[in-house]
Structure formats: structure tokens, C-alpha cells
Structure 1
Amino acid sequence: MRAVLLAAGLGTRLRPLTEHVPKCLVPVQGRPLLGIWFELLFRGGTIGRALVNTHWLAPQVERFVAASPWAGRVDLVHEGTLLGTAGTLLANRTWIGDGPVLVAHADNLTDLDVGALVAAHAARPSGCALTMLAFRTDAPRSCGIIETDARGIVQAFHEKVEDPPGDLANAAVYVFEPEVMDAAASLGRPVVDLSTEVIPLFVGRILAVEMQGYHRDIGSPEALRLAEAEWRPHPGRAA
């Protein structure tokens, strides 16, 4: 299987740090996020190649990838103008191919078991077009909160609302079937957002898999501080 790491974000909430460091290379305990993601994706053998999109401070990302032990399995694509998270996928459909693809926001710190997520997708209930990683958040108002039925099928989204009905959040890691890309393409625009424009189209057809390990969006200084204090990678995954 192939994977797309969405890594082109500006990281505006982390300024001034991200004025000089792209968000995907922000270090946690001395390790850039992108390096942690490469370990997660490639160590278990589930993912064959990964695509990383670049925009802000792209030469830094290019140098990091070139020096990585996984460089031979990583492809880079530059976006002079940001395309939105689904727009990136549409622009790279040929690279993705005709099978399922793992898609992840690379600005999250996680120790997810990639193989287990892919296996859950393979065993998903009939009719589900995608599988979503979910996690319990300590800041539900800043996350996309989901409601699921007894089978784990997503029934509702609550995107960063003041009084969310729970703490089970979208972790922004997915396994997509090709029809998800078809839905994004049907919107007829090159710039498309996954979380607000595409994923909601599949309510009732999304399997949510709650992870048992660590997951945090490090998009704010407070979240980054917490990650520095909390991070204990699972042995053998992002160690």
C-alpha cells in the first residue's frame, strides 16, 4: 500500500518557531515529526512508498528527506499554491493508483500501529468506503468530534464546536478506497478540503478505529509543550 503524508501546512499557530522551521519538521524530544512518521510507515512493511507534499520552507524538507534512511521510498511533490488536503490527493491520483491509500496529516504526533489500521480497513463492515483513526482528546472543543454507533460506524461530526457531545476525535489518519477520491473529484474544483468537504459526505459509511496509544496535534505552543513532556513511543513503532 502507498501513503500520502500531508505536510505542506504553514503552522501559523506555532509562530515564531515555524517562521524558520516547516511544521512537519518541528522536533519533539529532538526528533522531527516527519522522521517519526517515516518510522511508523516503513518499519512494519505495510507501506511501500510515501508521498510528501511541500510548500513553506520546502528546501528544508527536501534536505531532510534526502538524508533520511528511508529516502529511497519517499517521493516529494511541491505545491506553489496550496491545494487543500483533498486537492493534494486529486493532483496526485496517478501516483496513488487504483487501490486503497493511507492518508495522514503529518503534523500529528502519534504511535499508531499502521498495520493494525490497515487490517481493520480490510475487515471493515460492508458499505464502508473509508476507515478513520480516532482518539480520546483532552481538548474536544479544538478537535473534530465524532459520534459512532455500536459497530464503530460514524454517524455524526462536530467540527470544533463549543459544547461537543463527547471526546472521541478524528485523528486525521485514514485509509481511503478510490470512491473517496471520486467524491472529491466530483466537487469540480482543484482546491478541496478533506475534513469539511469530503469526509462528511461519507457519514454512515466510515469505520472509526479508536487507537489505544498516543496521539496529539502539536499545532499550538501548549500542545507542543505537552507532547515534549508526554511522548513515550511504543517500542518497535516510533521508537
Structure 2
Amino acid sequence: MTGTIQNRESFLNTIASSLGRDRHPGKIERPVWEFQPQKEVLKGATPDQLVEVLKTQCLRIHTSVVVTDQTGLAETLAETVANYGGGPVVTWKDNRFSEWGLDPLFHNEWPEQDIEYYEWDHTKGRENIRQAEKANIGITISEITLAESGTVVLFSDQDKGRTVSFLPKSLIALVPKSSLVPRMTQAAQKMRQMHLEGKQVASCVNFITGPSNSADIELNLVVGVHGPVKATYIIIDDL
């Protein structure tokens, strides 16, 4: 859906009046800073080098990493789910699962193994949340992946409920190798470019760095405070 802006001019005029000045007559030029160190970190790193950076960081954030390709994805995903104790499993509704050949696993193999599987359905309202609450594993897809911090970026919409990533006990994020960028700087640039190209950027963007954790004032780390206790990133070599 495309929204409409109403009363924009009167709203901006009121703000300018409250500040005691006239509205700026033209477009404000973005400043160009002489020093931009945020763009130098991992500058020129290849996708393979970014994978290695991601792996190293995931050791620090208690996150497992598995590398596969599209051919081996279904087997790798099945093994990861089995290692986490099986279902119930909840996923987004996303065509990429079918494109990556996961339909037989979701709809045939898991039911035959009595692994309960639920696909997010926005027409079912709060039933989606109930299914996510009882799920052992949530499976999502990273749209942008920050190698430096080990962060997956999830875009929510009506078919990609955000509760899939934080209500189940464990999180599995499918990470296309092509989604890897050095750090937050490039992620912000990528989303900005999407906007400039007329592509819709989700109103809810979640940056998730491994399983949930928190530390008290004495720096005693506790994992799994307000979300998944375990997390695995499955990197899919799509380049």
C-alpha cells in the first residue's frame, strides 16, 4: 500500500514559525565530510573474506555458522533442525523457500517425521503469534548481513512476522552470500539505494546479532533473556 501525506505544508510552516524563522526555500545539500572512516572498515573485502569475518564474529556472539549451496541447503537445514531437537517449526511465507527447493522438506519430509511445521499467514491474525510462541525453531531469511558484527537484517511485512525471529527457542537465519556487506554503513546505503530506486523498504527493519543476551552491572552474560537461546546462520553460496 502507498500512503498519502496530508497537511504537510501547514505542518512544516507551523514548525518554522515556532522556530522563529522562514521555511528553507530550497533543497538542503548533503555535506561531504573530509574524513569518512566508517567507509574504510573492510573496504574492498571480497565475499569470501566477508564470510571469514562473519564466522570469526559469530564465535564471539555464540552463533553457529554453516556454509552450503542451494543444492545442499535442504539437507543442511534438516540437520540443523534435528540438532535443535526438531519441531515445531515456524517460518515466514516467502517464495524464496520454494525457489531454493525447500518445499519437499517443509511439506513432505517433516510431516512424515512428525515435525510440526507452520507457515506465517497474515489472514490468521493472532494465531500466527500463538504458533510462534510454541515453536522450537523459527526460520527467516537475512536481507542484508553485516559481517563485522555478525548481524542479520530482517525486513518485516504481512507475510514475514517479526515474532518468527524472537519468540521460538532457536533461530535459524538463511543468509545468501550475496547479502553480505562489511558493516552498518553499507547496510544503510543499501536501504537508501532501494528507496531511491522506488523499491519499498519495510517499515519494520530488525537487526539481530545472534541469540538474545544481556549482561548485568558486573558484566555477567546471560544468553536467551528475551528471545532465542540458540542461533545458527546458514550461509548459502549464491554467487
Q: TM-score, normalised by structure 1?
A: 0.30
Q: TM-score, normalised by structure 2?
A: 0.30
Q: Is the radius of gyration larger for structure 1 or structure 2?
A: 2
